[in-house]
């Protein structure tokens, strides 16, 4: 098995993690190549990704085009999408080399050349005031929002910015898109869940929008944006049988009562 090792040099302590993984792979005579996040290549059959969720999102977008699964080794903060911590790396590598892992495809969104596994965030160019934003679905006007912006999210991204903005948590295998207003200046604006085959267009009365994909790729001051499901699917690797609900409870402390 050929393994990509992708690292983010802007993550503290990435060198220690990279050295540990490379040494463990060498000790097992595994075939691997290491790539900086900004210079990834499609070489291996699976990709170990060293970093936090942001690093994994970027690698997953890149490797989705070659249908290569990615496995996150968390050296960031939350690591919601990661499957391993650094102190588990030897057992993780053994499982991967023995092909003792599963994969899961995840919906991604696209707009022109931009891809998002988590979400598109749309705001006005003037970040210091609310904007009037128009929402159309399949060419039909739905509503307008006076708000700080909109979050158009996949189920994977529903536990990210959308959750912080009051959006719902969506089970990852559900084929749907959520549209969540950010701080709407009204009491009757609520998140909207639509089928994944809908075409979403967002415009601004000022005709000036700023768009970011997964908090990374950004377009400044555009007139409108059209978002739809991408033909590419992110492929995530999983090492254990923990359910989505277990991850919610363990990493987001979902529904856990406060202790004395």
Report the catalytic residues: 53
CA distance 214 to 81: 14
CB 74 within 8 A of CB 42: no
Using DSSP bridges, classify how beta strands 31-36 and 2-7 pair: parallel, antiparallel or unpaired.
parallel
Tokens of 58: 């970027």
Instruction: State residue 140 phi and psi, 5-degree precision.
Output: -105, 130
DSSP assignment of 9-52: TTSTTHHHHHHHHHHHHHHTT-EEEEEEGGG--S-SSEEEEEE-
C-alpha 38/C-alpha 7 separation (Å) is 9
Contact indicator for 27, 37 with CB cutoff of 8 Å: no
Residue the block writes with tokens 């200046």: 185
Reading the block at residue 152, the tokens are: 């158009």
Other CB atoms within 10 A of residue 256 CB? 9
The Cα–Cα gap between 194 and 109 comes to 13
Cβ contacts of residue 198 below 8 Å, gap of 6+?
A: 137, 138, 177, 228
CA–CA distance, 122 with 108 (Å, rounded to integer):
17
């Amino acid at each position: 098995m050929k393994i990509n090792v992708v690292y983010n040099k802007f993550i503290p302590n990435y060198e220690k993690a990279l050295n540990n993984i490379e040494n463990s792979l060498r000790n097992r005579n595994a075939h691997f190549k290491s790539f900086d996040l900004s210079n990834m290549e499609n070489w291996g059959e699976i990709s170990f990704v060293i970093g936090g969720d942001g690093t994994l999102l970027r690698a997953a977008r890149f490797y989705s085009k070659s249908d290569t699964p990615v496995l996150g080794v968390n050296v960031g903060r939350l690591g919601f999408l990661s499957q391993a911590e650094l102190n588990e790396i030897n057992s993780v590598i053994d499982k991967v080399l023995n092909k003792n892992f599963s994969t899961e495809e995840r919906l991604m969104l696209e707009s022109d050349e931009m891809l998002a596994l988590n979400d598109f965030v749309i705001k006005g160019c003037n970040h210091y005031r609310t904007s009037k934003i128009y929402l159309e679905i399949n060419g039909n006007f739905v509503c307008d929002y006076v708000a700080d912006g909109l979050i158009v999210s996949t189920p994977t991204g529903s536990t990210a910015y959308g959750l912080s903005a009051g959006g719902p948590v969506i089970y990852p295998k559900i084929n749907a898109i959520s549209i969540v207003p950010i701080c709407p200046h009204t009491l009757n604006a609520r998140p909207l869940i639509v089928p994944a085959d809908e075409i979403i267009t967002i415009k601004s009365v000022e005709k000036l929008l700023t768009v970011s994909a997964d908090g990374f790729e950004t377009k400044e001051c555009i007139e409108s944006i059209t978002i739809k499901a991408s033909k590419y699917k992110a492929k995530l690797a999983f090492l254990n049988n923990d359910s989505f609900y277990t991850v919610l409870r363990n990493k987001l402390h979902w529904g856990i009562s406060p202790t004395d």
